[in-house]
């Protein structure tokens, strides 16, 4: 990016962090993965129990490997060889984790988190359960408002995830949401986090790069 487009993104991030604060959530800007880990270490104490929601961003930024490093008690849904029942057990245990990590399908400049899930385990834990929720996003997830968040999900997040998961849904063919009635549909629970009671619960860390979808 050149200096002028950097400036536009910087201002967008500033507005978003300010709006999150008004909604009793914390927003931070970090430049890279090193700063991301430093920020996480400020927020989540060593020895805490941690869990994750499905997220490409957490893989791309190396956070999954970091959580496996032994610093935390990691309820690891991605551990090799887990049965379906064991994964379900991890999902349920995740509600009692000290900190829950994930990304967001969109973050609005009004300071809201918009997410669509298929299974619901991720959005459920974001809404209630873990004492802290750490949301890691690239600047590409920031959108103007709720309308743009819904559009972003229909035009990018949901079709890209359906493609990643090899679903037999129409969006995988045309590249945008067709509000299908396919048995393979991955869009079930639509959530908007607009405000928190506890201002120390949700922490949105914006990494100054494009990540995930
Ligand atoms: S509702 Fe169906 S078509 Fe739309 S994004 Fe979800 S899976 Fe794809």
Would you say 44 and 99 are in contact if contact means Cβ atoms under 8 Å apart? yes
- Residue 2 banded pLDDT, cuts 50, 70, 90: confident
pTM for the model? 0.96
pLDDT tens column, 154-210: 999 999 999 999 999 999 999 999 999 999 999 999 999 999 999 999 999 999 999
Query: From ligand 1's centre to the CA of 205, what distance in Å?
Result: 28
For ligand 1, whether the C-beta of 158 sits within 6 Å is: yes
For ligand 1, whether the C-beta of 172 sits within 6 Å is: no
Mean pLDDT of 38-63: 98
For ligand 1, whether the C-beta of 178 sits within 6 Å is: yes
Mean pLDDT of 11-26: 98
∠ CA 204-124-52, rounded to 5°: 55
pLDDT at residue 1 greater than cutoff 80? no
pLDDT at residue 142 greater than cutoff 90? yes
Q: Which atom of ligand 1 is nearest to the CA of 172?
A: 8
Mean pLDDT of 146-160: 98
Give how far Cα 71 sits from Cα of 16, 97, 190, Å. 31, 14, 33
| Helical segments of the chain, H only | 3-22, 33-43, 56-60, 63-67, 84-94, 121-127, 146-152, 158-164, 170-174
């Amino acid at each position: 990016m050149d200096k002028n487009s950097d400036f536009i993104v910087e201002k967008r991030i500033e507005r978003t962090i300010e709006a999150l604060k008004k909604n009793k959530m914390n927003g931070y800007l970090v430049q890279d993965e090193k700063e991301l880990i430093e920020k996480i270490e400020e927020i989540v104490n060593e020895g805490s129990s941690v869990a994750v929601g499905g997220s490409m961003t957490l893989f791309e930024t190396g956070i999954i490997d970091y959580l496996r490093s032994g610093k935390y008690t990691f309820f690891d849904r991605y551990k090799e060889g887990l049965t379906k029942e064991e994964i379900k057990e991890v999902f349920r245990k995740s509600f009692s984790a000290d900190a829950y990590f994930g990304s967001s399908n969109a973050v609005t400049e009004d300071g809201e988190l918009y997410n669509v899930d298929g299974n619901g385990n991720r959005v459920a834990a974001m809404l209630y359960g873990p004492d802290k929720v750490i949301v890691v996003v690239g600047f590409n997830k920031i959108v103007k408002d709720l309308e743009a968040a819904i559009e972003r999900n229909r035009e990018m997040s949901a079709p890209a995830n359906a493609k990643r998961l090899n679903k037999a849904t129409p969006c995988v063919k045309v590249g945008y949401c067709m509000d299908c009635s396919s048995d393979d549909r991955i869009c079930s629970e639509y959530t908007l986090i607009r405000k928190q009671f506890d201002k120390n619960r949700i922490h949105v860390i914006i990494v100054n790069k494009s990540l995930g979808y």
